[in-house]
Structure 1
């Protein structure tokens, strides 16, 4: 990621960047050994013949603050025994996921690498979907469980038969709903360690309670952990830097607009006029995500 200083400093100041800090974290990507087959039409159209099914993996991230001696997991991937998820979750997996293969739980991966589960001080859920929450109940009670505002419903299953969450994941440990007390860019934010090394951003468009993480890896560079804020690079294109080529006719924009209206629940004021903006502005810059769950 490009440093915030240098020739871009004035522009970045206008974007309301994180406050300066010399405190950093290290971030390690964890392959959770989860492989899922998904219906391509849920993510993009038109679907090319022969590519009706997408194969995707599931990632988690180990974050370490060396100054404080603290470790956190940002997401846990999918629990190995996903068939023991609440009925609400199982019904949706069976309806939407043609195939799932999981070789190991994240707890097993950490332990195989020589790490004790008691070394993990915090679990941070980007959001409470089944392929991100993993198995917190396998961690010791000393590990806190952190999540964004809007996460729920509580209590979890089986106390609440309609909940997608397992009550066992919350029992016997400190559960923390993140309180956003600052802003980074346009987003409510929270300084997780209180030293500027890791910020959590309130980004609830994908699912209630969704958070992204902004991890400071050097004093002026960051790693952005997006959770499920984006499933497809086309969500962020076109842009001023990468506009649609002139070879794409204006008539195609009408198809984009029609498809967006067909697939989404529209409320008053939900969508600005799209046709004149589409060549240089990504769809997510036009749609009001506060009233639309992508």
Structure 2
């Protein structure tokens, strides 16, 4: 039987987005407060060993933990809601039937001791959360991320927009660079260099995780155009695949999770900020980049469109060459999905 995982959504803060910066044909005055979702993924090996993986950490509960340039940006995204944050949601979860007093007494998971791995889709301010809450976890990020945090990446992504000390240096590994660059030449020239993992850091990974990491096309067969050109089998059993998902920010990755033999959950991070784009109802908005040109919220709009196209095709049930596959795609800032799926938040499951 195919290996599967359990997945639970977590509240990890909210922020407010002006529609005009994200979708075409937008209401110029509409601003929507949306979640920054985190997800708990639990994998049980044949030996019985359970590995707890977090995907994204949402918003910091202490805004003062951001750099001055980040706080200036956050001021444009108000209202921002910081509670509950990811750690608090892990501790107490969400129970639709519990009273406030009962909810406060819950202690479901201790973020300090019960989380093994944290995977960040990328390191924008609304996804990095409070890494110090996860004192035992190994962090895993896309190629070039550590360099990006230290030095930025080109004029639109200066170092001031990132915190060089965001992640624990001794416990943070990078996924390897994907085999081929998906970026246009202008974007590629600003791509941050990857940081090699040391054997000491790799030794911190749970023994259930397959390492060294390597990218493979998915599906790994003779098709000319695989569903995803670069996917990494985290546990070596097909239950969790890290998907190289270029476009939004350098190092952006997604997760493809098998939750039943013929059912997948695809965690899309910031592949788009509005699910209507994924459904083809809206396009990616372009706006003045302040340098005499146009830009979108993505570092490479063309690459982002190509990633969205691959996700959409996979979600249509063609991921393994057979239409009898259910795929649910969840992006980080989907307020409608959150409101409709409260029963699937931890300790509930997707």
**Fold conserved (TM > 0.5)?**
yes
Among 105, 119, 129, which residue is 1:124 paired with?
A: 119
Query: Deviation of residue 130 (structure 1)?
Result: 0.9
Corresponding residue number in structure 2 for 1:264? 295
TM-score, normalised with respect to structure 1: 0.68
Q: Which runs of 5+ in 2 are unaligned?
A: 93-106, 152-157, 177-213, 219-226, 310-350
Q: What is aligned with 1:18?
A: none
CA RMSD of aligned residues (A): 3.4
Equivalences for residues 252-291 of structure 1 within 5 A: 263-264=294-295
Report the alpha carbon displacement of residue 221 of structure 1 after superposing the two structures with TM.
1.6
The question of 1:56 aligning with 2:34 is answered yes
- Could you list the per-position Cα deviations for residues 234-275 of structure 1 after superposition, in whole angstroms to 9, with x for gaps in the alignment? 32344xxx9x9xxxxxxxxxxx8996897438xxxx98xxxx
**Is residue 56 of structure 2 the alignment partner of residue 25 of structure 1?**
no
The match for 1:79 is: 60
CA distance in 2, matches of 1:111, 1:257: 37
1:70 aligns with 2:51: yes
The 1:260–1:109 alpha-carbon spacing in structure 2 relative to 1, beyond 3 Å, is: closer
**Higher Rg:** 1
SS at match of 1:162: helix
Select which of 217, 233, 238 maps to 2:259: 217
2:14 aligned with 1:35: yes
Give the Cα–Cα distance (whole angstroms) in 2 for the partners of residues 227 and 155 of structure 1: 18
**Structure 1 residues 47 and 166: CA distance shift in structure 2, 3 A:** same
Higher RCO, Cα 8 Å, sep 6+: 2
Match of 1:176 in 2: 173
Aligned counterparts of 1:133 and 1:257: Cα–Cα separation in 2: 24
1:176-195 per-position Cα deviation (integer Å, ceiling 9, x unaligned): 11134211223311111222
Which shifted more, 37-46 or 204-213? Answer: 37-46
Distance in 2 separating the partners of 1:124 and 1:46: 34
For 1:98, the equivalent position in structure 2 comes to 78
Q: Deviations over 1:33-53 (max 9, x none)?
A: x2222222111243337x521
What is the aligned length? 231
Partner of 1:128: helix, strand, or coil? coil
Counterpart of 1:230 (choices 250, 272, 275) is: 272
How far does the alpha carbon of each residue in 1:137-170 deviate from its partner, in whole angstroms, 9 at most, with x for none? 1211x2100001121436659xx97361351531
Structure 1 stretches of 5 or more lacking a match? 1-20, 245-255, 272-280, 286-294
1:186-225 maps to which residues of 2 (within 5 A)? 186-225=228-267
Matched-pair contact (CA < 8 Å) for 1:85–1:166: no
- Check whether the contact 2:14–2:59 (CA below 8 A) recurs between aligned residues: no
TM-score (norm 2): 0.58
Match of 1:149 in 2: 143
